[in-house]
Structure 1
């Protein structure tokens, strides 16, 4: 099959992307067989793809690089330059192995993080009871920030959490758009990076003692394949690449609460402390909820996708949200059905809310094990440990906004112990 026709500049779809958000690619790829489409975004030639074959192209081997594939403000608010996501080949695999050790293969690290999250949640509960009315989205982000800072080996006192939680949440909140708040988020990130650089230097010099195996100690002590430590500036970026995604799990927790509200039979199932179906419920939340809309890449060599020849240097977008909502890959994709029995450990080219492929070898997010564990613990806390009322509020999820969530932030009233 020949290549896709090159689009003209007047076919640019940037305004449509900004208007339609998560639905921009699904609306165009769901009606195409195979799901591949060439257009222009920001006047740049791009090939958009979805589905298992596209996932295999993006996440197998080194055919696709992340360098040069993400707009500057989005890159700097999220992974940033010189991070593991910007590496390829052996350099990427070597540094990625550090993240896999911390987030996947170490037998107790995720359990430790979840315990710290539970402790932080329960410590805050009395204040929530006194207040009587809280935004779950904001409460979850602050609680996750405390757990993440403590787990990483960083200061997690009230002052540190109140200072750093909105910075970490703001990186995600402002990554999908450019506005005055985006500039503020970038400046706040830079200040946090400078504080983390000082923490890295203090750990390396021995002036700051942290527990053995603490992530900040792992990153401070990391050596690349040539035996060189990371510059303090890069080490700080990688610490942020642990902290920021943990705080972002608050978005999934809010969606989980929304599903419990809309599907009360599931809430009743977990209210007696049963864990039956808990992981399946959690994984279906990840499939169903809008989180990452798509991911970008650049071909490092000529390649083929769905029979079309693509040239080295071609900019690509892989539709994560659309793949998870395509009836070609999921029966009744717009229905919330935990009985699908999905898992981050299988269905690696179809179930791709945070990317596809094999975690250790590809650019797939290494934090899915932790994400699932944190959402599951939050569901347990929301159903078994506490009760609350859900007042009338705006619970619609605007899919034209990236990132998104229930418009109200999911307000809880009359928060109380069960």
Structure 2
């Protein structure tokens, strides 16, 4: 019987024109959860939903090697980084990341984030207005580098924060945005490589257990130190995602504004349960990652689809997080849906699915949640502000996306 095949000669332009909804649009058109289309000159299978995610994260069926295009490696991930690894080598590298992102370390980072937010109030009170997204990037860059043990002069905070953000902004871009991301990665890698080499030569003392120290001394499965560039790439893969949480913080502020009743509930949230629910709903409701890619490890058939060895497969993250079979009234913002949520590892996938210890789910998911909680608590409990007239729309075509204005605050006052 087979599965629907999109009739277009190549869907690359359609993907750029439809963004986050590219896969969902075709699921709706063909009344299916799976279809095949031509993208960038090759036949690609696209699928969505919880059952698809379970298949996608089966390491016997899929591998990440060869899935991330070079243009994404040269901007977002770094070349040959952990996201491109499989098998024992991937698990070995992943254990390092997990050791850095334990609950105590998550809490330490969230406290640093709170400290840096509070340090911003004095500047904000005398400013006509601030752009929250821009401020968040710098707050998170300061906190991430302090937490990771990476030396960062105040004079270079904006440049480093912008570089980390530009790498993320480039993943779905062509033209100037893409090249800006490439230049940002080159600068960041050179900066971190020099720091790694100075740690190894003894010129910089790195605290035991810090991300800087652990990457500087990390050895691969063969017992060899990572070369300084690869160590830098992986340290950036610790720092960059923390700065990227600025997007979720901007969307959190948008949610507070669009759904004012939630702000009152957060103010009266004595046990932190509503704060947790609100953060999870922001991660589900607003667009972050559009889809994920992997290549078929060995040929198999699933749901009438023939998955050929080496074939590229895309899992619809945004569509799965808005799947009406999994989420009642998915286009409404309802934090309470997470009150008694007992979901699987495959139905809520804003940062990937599966087990983070053995698979490719983001090991920093706990960090994202704790940093968002600390940031929301600051916005709700530490300051008052006004939202002036501005463009609060966000595009589902642009990948990644953001409120158009970046969330402008005016008349900021400490409580």
Describe the SS at the equivalent of 2:366: helix
Question: Is 1:150 matched with 2:146?
Answer: yes
Q: CA deviation at 1:207?
A: 1.8
Q: Which residue of 2 aligns with 1:90?
A: 88
Match of 1:64 among 59, 62, 65: 62
CA spacing shift, 1:387–1:224, aligned 2, 3 Å: same
RMSD: 1.8
* 2: CA distance, partners of 1:238 / 1:187: 18
| Contact 2:10 2:41 (8 Å CA) reproduced | yes
Residues 13-48 of structure 1, C-alpha deviations (whole Å, 9 max, x = no match): 111111111111111124545400101112221100
1:398–1:343 Cα change, 3 Å: farther
In the superposition, the TM-score normalised over structure 1's length comes to 0.95
Q: TM-score, normalised by structure 2?
A: 0.95
CA distance in 2, matches of 1:343, 1:33: 31
Cα offset, 1:185, TM superposition: 2.3
Q: Does 1:402 align with 2:388?
A: no
Unaligned runs of 5+ in 2: none
Any idea what the Cα deviations from partners look like across 1:185-242, whole Å, max 9, x if unmatched?
Answer: 2123112201211111111222211222110111111112221111111000001101
Q: Counterparts of 1:302-313 in structure 2 under 5 Å?
A: 302-313=299-310
The 1:135/1:343 distance shift into structure 2, 3 A limit, reads farther
Structure 1 runs not aligned, ≥5 long: none
Deviation at 1:58, TM superposition (A): 1.7
Partner of 1:181: 177
In structure 1, what is the equivalent of residue 298 of structure 2? Answer: 301
> Any conservation in 2 of the 1:78–1:175 contact (CA below 8 Å)?
yes
Q: Size of the alignment, in residue pairs? A: 414
For 1:276 and 1:319, locate their aligned partners in 2 and report how far apart those are by CA, in whole Å.
Answer: 29
Match of 1:362 among 352, 356, 359: 359
Displacement over 3 Å in runs of 4+: 2-8, 30-34, 342-346
* CA deviation after TM superposition for structure 1 residue 11, in Å: 2.7
- Most deviating of 293-302 and 306-315: 306-315
Aligned partner of 1:111 in structure 2 is: 107
Map 1:25-174 → 2, pairs under 5 A = 25-30=23-28, 32-103=30-101, 106-174=102-170
Asked if 2 retains the 8 angstrom alpha-carbon contact of 1:17 and 1:24, the reply is yes
Task: Tell me the residue number matched to 1:352.
Answer: 349
Residues 30 and 326, structure 1, Cα contact 8 Å, conserved in 2: no
Q: What is the CA–CA distance in structure 2 between the aligned matches of 1:92 and 1:373, rounded to whole Å?
A: 25
Aligned-partner Cα distance in 2 for 1:117–1:179:
34
Give, in whole Å, the separation in 2 of the partners of 1:321 and 1:232.
36
In the alignment, structure 1 residue 255 sits paired with structure 2 residue 251: yes
Report Cα offsets for 1:70-98 as digits up to 9, x if no partner. 33222211112221111110110110111
* Inter-partner Cα distance in structure 1 for 2:60 and 2:90: 10
Q: Does the 8 Å contact 1:295/1:317 carry over to 2?
A: yes
Alignment partner of 2:273: what SS? coil
Question: How many Å apart are 1:343 and its aligned residue?
Answer: 9.7
Q: In 1, are the aligned partners of 2:216 and 2:231 still within 8 Å (CA)?
A: yes
Secondary structure in 1 matching 2:306: strand
